[in-house]
Amino acid sequence: MKSYGKYIVEVENLTKKFGDFVAVDNISFNVKKGEIFGFLGANGAGKTTAMKMLTGLLSPSSGNAIVAGWDVEKNPEKVKLNIGYMSQKFSLYDDLRVSENIRLYAGIYKIPGKEIKIKINTLLEELGMQDLRKKLVGDLPLGWKQKLAFAVAMVHDPPVVFLDEPTSGVDPITRRQFWEMIYKASADGTTLFVTTHYLDEAEYCTRTSIMVDGEIKALDTPENLKQQFEVDNMQDVFVKLARGL
C-alpha cells in the first residue's frame, strides 16, 4: 500500500462538467485519518458525482484529488484497490451464500488465498453470523445485508471507506447498530466518508460538509455549524443553507 501524509483524502478545486452543466463546482477539502466525514447535500447537489470521482469511477474535468496516496485521475485502479466502497443500493450477490460473497470480494481485493478462510471466519464472528455462513444473501433481512456489505467493504483493511447512504431503508435499531460499527472502525484508525439523507446522522460525524448546487457551502464540526447558523440541530443548518439564508 502506498504511503500518504497527514490526510487520507486531499481535494483541491475539483470540478466535474457534463457539457455546459457544472455538477461539481471547484470544491476543496481534506480528510484526516480516523475521521468520520459527513458529506451531505440534497438530491442533485453533486455529492454522488463527487464521490464517484473520489472513488476512481469518474474522471474530473479539472482540479486534483488524492485518495489513500493515489491520484484519482492518474491512478483510478490503484484508488479502487486501496479503498472500501459500499454503494447506496445493495451491492452483494443475492444468489451467493454469505461466505461465498466474502470469498469473492476478498479475491477481488487480492487477499492471499490462505488468508481468505481466516477473513471469512473473523468477519462472521464479528457480525454474529456464524450460523448464516451457508445462507443465500438474498434470503437475509435488509439490516443484515447492509451490515454484511459494510464488513465486505472493509475485508482488505483499507485506510478509507466510502459509504453512500449506508443506512437507507433500515429500521432505527439497525441504524444504531450500523453506526456502532462505523465508530469502531474509526476508533481502529479507518477513515469513513459517509453520505446520508438522515440529517440527525450528521451529528455523529467528526466533521460535516454540506453541498448546495455543486458547491460546498459549509464545512465544520456539527457543533460549530450549529453555533455558526444559530440553530439547535443539523436539520435547521441544512434548511438555512438550502434556502440561502
Measured CA to CA, the distance from residue 215 to residue 211 in angstroms comes to 5
What pLDDT score does 41 carry?
Answer: 86
In the predicted structure, residue 8 carries a pLDDT above the cut 80 = yes
Beta bridge partners of 84: 161
What pLDDT score does 69 carry?
Answer: 94
> By percentage, how much of the chain surpasses pLDDT 70?
97
Measured CA to CA, the distance from residue 167 to residue 155 in angstroms comes to 19
In the predicted structure, residue 10 carries a pLDDT above the cut 80 = yes
Q: What is the DSSP string of 194-208?
A: EE-S-GGGGGGSSEE
**Which residues, 6 or more positions from 105, have their beta carbon under 8 angstroms from its beta carbon?**
152, 155
Which residue in 129, 173, 170 sits closest to 151, CA to CA?
129
Tens-digit pLDDT profile for residues 127-184: 999 999 999 999 999 888 988 999 999 999 999 999 988 888 888 888 888 899 999 9
**Which residues, 6 or more positions from 218, have their beta carbon under 8 angstroms from its beta carbon?**
208, 209, 210, 225, 228, 229, 237, 241
H-state helical runs in 47-164 = 47-54, 76-81, 98-108, 113-127, 142-153
In the predicted structure, residue 60 carries a pLDDT above the cut 80 = yes
In the predicted structure, residue 25 carries a pLDDT above the cut 70 = yes
**CA 166 from chain center: how many Å?**
8
Q: Is the pTM of this model over 0.85?
A: yes
In the predicted structure, residue 199 carries a pLDDT above the cut 70 = yes
Measured CA to CA, the distance from residue 197 to residue 234 in angstroms comes to 11
Measured CA to CA, the distance from residue 241 to residue 245 in angstroms comes to 6
What pLDDT score does 3 carry?
Answer: 56
The DSSP symbol for 202 reads G
Residue 245's pLDDT band (cuts 50, 70, 90) = low
Measured CA to CA, the distance from residue 129 to residue 132 in angstroms comes to 5
In the predicted structure, residue 73 carries a pLDDT above the cut 60 = yes
Grid-cell match 454484511, residue found? 148
